[in-house]
C-alpha cells in the first residue's frame, strides 16, 4: 500500500514552483521515500543514501568503501565496464555513486520513456556489481593517484592533520579515501564485504523529484531496492573530540601557511542550532561581510579569504574554519581569530548584524529548490537529518524567531576561545607547536 501525506510548500521566490507538494510515499514492500511530482519535464531525479559510508571501513582497510562505491558502475552481470557505460548512455540515463564519512550516495536521472529500463540497469549495478579484477586495479590506480596528489597539497595536509588531532582513531580522524598503504592492501574480497556492509535496506533514505507519480514510485522502489540485503554492518560509535586548544605546526615548504582551526560544534537536532547557524554566518560563514573577513582581509590584508562552518555529522560535531596567510603574518592572523571568537562570546551580535543575516538566510533559501536534482538532494538530506516533512515551510520562521539574546546565550555556551585548536601547515614565523 502507498501511504501519502501531502504538504503544500509556498515558495513565492520561485515562480516556476509557486506551489510544491512533498508526498510521503511507502512502497508495497515497505520502502519509504519523499516525492515532489512534476510532469512539466519528462524526467525524474532520484537520490538514495545508505547511512554509514566510509565510517564502516574495517581497521586497516581505510578507503575500501570509497573504492567500492567507485566500482559499482564498472559492470554488472554480463556487462563489463564498457558495456555498462554503453547501456546507460543508450538510455540517456545518468548514475553517480560516491561515498563520504557518513553515507554512500547514489544519484540517478532518467527519462520517463526509459524509466523501466534505467531502473533495471541501476538495480543490477546496486545488487550485483562485478568488481572485475581489471576494473579494481584501474580504479585503485586512480584513487592512489589522487592520494599522491593530495600528499603534496598543503590544504589537504592541514585538513588531514586537523582531523587526526580532533578525532583520533575514530573514522572521522582519517580521510575516507584511505592512504596509499591501506588502498594498496584492499582485496576484491574486501570490496565485496564493503558492499555487503554498506548497501542494505536497513539504512536507506530515498527522495525523488520529477515526472513520476506516487504509485509509480512505489513500484520503482520495490523493483530497485527490495532485493538488497535486509541489514548491513552496525554503525560505528560516537566520536569523542580529542583536540586541546593551541597550535600544532606541520612544517611544509610553501610561502603561505594553510591554517585549519576548530572546536567542538553543535548537533543538528539541538534546539540552539539556528542561533548557532546565525552566529556562524556573522562570524565567518557569510562571505565578504563577516567579522573575520573584515578583520583579517579588509583591515589588515592578512589573507585573501577566511571562512567558518558548522559541521554537524552523524557521530560528532565541529565548529571549524580555515584560511591561508603569508608565513611572516600567520601568527598575527591566528591571534585575530582567537580575538574574534572572544569578542563574539563577550558581546554577541548587533541588531543590524542579526537583521541583515536573517534577510539573507530567509531570502536565499527558496533559491536552493531550483530543479529536480537539487530538490531530491534536499529532501533526502532532510530525512537523514530527521527533519519534518514541513521543514521547507517552517525553516524560515525558525530563523526569524532567533533573538539577540539567543545568539548571545549560544555564543557563551558554544564558543570556547581557550579550546580553539589550530593546525598550521607551512613555515610560519614565530610559531611553534603548543602556542
Least confident range of 40-49, 128-137, 145-154, 426-435: 426-435
Give residue for cell 591561508.
324
What percentage of residues in the chain have a pLDDT greater than 90?
A: 93
Nearest CA-CA partner of 300 in 339, 328, 329: 329
At a CB cut-off of 8 Å and minimum separation 6, what does 153 contact? none
Please give the pLDDT value at position 322.
98
Tell me whether domains 6-225 and 246-426 share a fold.
Answer: yes
pLDDT bin (cut points 50, 70, 90) of residue 314 is very high
At residue 154, the 3 state secondary structure works out as: helix
| Burial of 219 (C-beta count, 10 Å sphere; 0-12/13-18/19+) | middle
Domain 6-225: which CATH class?
alpha beta
Q: Mean pLDDT over residues 309-332, rounded? A: 97
Average pLDDT, the chain: 94
134 class by beta-carbon count within 10 Å (0-12 exposed, 13-18 middle, 19+ buried) = exposed
Instruction: Give the CA-trace dihedral at 33, 36, 38, 39, to 10 degrees.
Output: 10
Give 197-262 as a DSSP string: HHS-GGGEEEEEEES--HHHHHHHHHHHHTTS-S--PPPPPPPPP-PPSEEEEEE---SEEEEEEE
Q: Residue-wise over 238-271: b if at least 16 C-beta within 10 A, else e? A: ebebebeeebbbbebeeebbbbbbbbbbbbbebe
Element (H, E) at 130: none
Q: What is the pLDDT of residues 251-287, one digit of tens each?
A: 999 999 999 999 999 999 999 999 999 999 999 998 8
Taking a C-beta distance cutoff of 8 angstroms, is the pair 257, 155 a contact? Answer: no
pLDDT digits (tens, 9 = 90+) for 378-407: 999 999 999 999 999 999 999 999 999 999
Grid cell for residue 194: 564493503
Please report the pLDDT score of residue 16 as a whole number: 33
Q: What is the pLDDT of residue 307?
A: 97
pLDDT at 434: 65
pLDDT of the residue at 69 = 98
Rounded distance between C-alpha atoms, residue 325 and residue 425, angstroms: 11
First-to-last CA distance in the chain?
A: 62
Q: How confident is the model at residue 4, as a pLDDT?
A: 32
Q: What percentage of the chain exceeds 70 in pLDDT?
A: 95
Query: Mean pLDDT throughout 99-123?
Result: 98
Segments making up each domain of the chain, as ranges = 6-225, 246-426
| Residue among 304, 299, 316 at smallest CA distance from 241 | 316
- If you average pLDDT over residues 62-88, what whole number do you get? 97
Residue 343 binned pLDDT confidence (cut-offs 50, 70, 90): very high
Unique residue bearing C-alpha cell 500500500: 1
Length of the chain: 435
Residue 13: is its pLDDT beyond 50? no
Which CATH superfamily is 246-426 part of?
A: Metalloenzyme, LuxS/M16 peptidase-like (3.30.830.10)
The DSSP-derived string for 180-192 is HHHHHH--HHHHH
Checking if the pLDDT of 100 tops 70, the result is: yes
Tens digit of each residue's pLDDT (9 = 90 or more) over 419-433: 999 999 999 998 877
Amino acid at each position: 500500500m502507498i501511504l501519502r501525506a501531502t504538504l503544500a510548500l509556498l515558495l513565492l521566490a520561485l515562480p516556476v514552483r509557486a506551489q510544491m507538494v512533498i508526498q510521503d510515499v511507502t512502497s508495497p514492500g515497505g520502502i519509504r521515500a519523499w516525492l515532489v511530482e512534476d510532469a512539466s519535464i519528462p524526467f525524474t531525479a532520484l537520490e538514495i543514501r545508505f547511512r554509514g559510508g566510509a565510517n564502516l571501513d574495517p581497521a586497516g582497510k581505510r578507503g575500501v568503501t570509497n573504492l567500492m562505491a567507485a566500482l559499482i558502475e564498472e559492470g554488472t552481470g554480463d556487462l563489463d565496464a564498457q558495456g555498462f557505460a554503453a547501456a546507460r548512455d543508450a538510455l540517456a540515463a545518468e548514475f553517480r555513486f560516491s561515498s563520504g564519512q557518513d553515507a554512500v550516495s547514489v544519484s540517478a536521472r532518467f527519462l520517463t520513456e526509459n524509466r523501466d529500463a534505467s531502473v533495471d540497469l541501476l538495480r543490477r549495478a546496486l545488487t550485483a556489481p562485478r568488481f572485475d579484477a581489471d576494473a579494481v586495479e584501474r580504479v585503485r590506480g586512480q584513487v592512489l593517484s589522487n592520494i599522491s596528489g593530495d600528499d603534496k597539497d598543503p590544504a589537504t595536509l592541514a585538513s588531514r592533520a586537523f582531523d587526526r588531532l580532533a578525532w583520533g582513531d575514530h573514522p572521522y580522524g582519517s580521510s575516507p579515501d584511505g592512504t596509499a598503504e591501506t588502498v594498496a592492501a584492499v582485496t576484491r574480497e574486501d570490496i565485496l564485504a564493503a558492499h555487503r556492509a554498506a548497501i542494505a535496506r536497513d539504512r536507506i533514505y530515498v527522495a525523488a523529484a520529477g515526472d513520476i507519480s506516487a504509485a509509480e514510485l512505489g513500484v520503482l522502489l520495490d523493483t530497485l531496492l527490495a532485493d538488497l540485503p535486509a541489514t548491513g554492518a552496525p554503525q560505528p560509535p560516537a566520536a569523542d573530540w580529542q583536540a586541546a586548544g593551541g597550535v600544532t605546526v606541520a612544517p611544509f615548504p610553501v610561502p603561505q601557511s594553510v591554517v585549519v582551526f576548530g572546536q567542538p560544534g553543535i548537533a543538528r537536532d539541538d534546539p540552539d542550532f539556528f542561533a548557532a547557524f546565525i552566529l556562524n554566518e556573522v562570524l565567518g560563514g557569510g562571505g565578504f561581510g563577516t567579522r573575520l573577513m573584515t578583520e583579517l582581509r579588509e583591515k589588515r590584508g592578512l589573507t585573501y579569504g577566511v571562512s567558518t562552518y558548522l559541521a554537524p555529522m552523524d557521530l560528532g560535531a565541529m565548529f571549524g574554519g580555515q584560511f591561508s596567510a603569508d608565513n611572516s603574518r600567520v601568527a598575527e592572523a591566528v591571534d585575530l581569530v582567537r580575538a574574534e571568537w572572544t569578542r563574539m562570546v563577550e558581546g554577541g551580535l548587533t541588531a543590524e548584524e542579526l537583521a541583515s543575516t536573517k534577510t539573507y538566510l530567509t531570502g536565499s533559501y527558496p533559491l536552493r529548490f531550483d530543479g529536480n536534482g537539487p530538490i531530491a538532494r534536499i529532501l533526502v538530506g532532510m530525512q537523514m537529518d530527521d527533519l519534518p516533512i514541513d521543514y521547507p515551510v517552517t525553516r524560515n520562521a525558525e530563523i526569524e524567531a532567533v533573538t539577540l539574546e539567543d545568539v548571545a546565550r549560544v555564543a557563551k555556551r558554544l564558543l570556547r576561545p581557550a579550546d580553539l585548536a589550530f593546525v598550521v601547515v607551512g613555515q610560519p614565523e614565530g610559531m611553534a607547536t603548543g602556542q
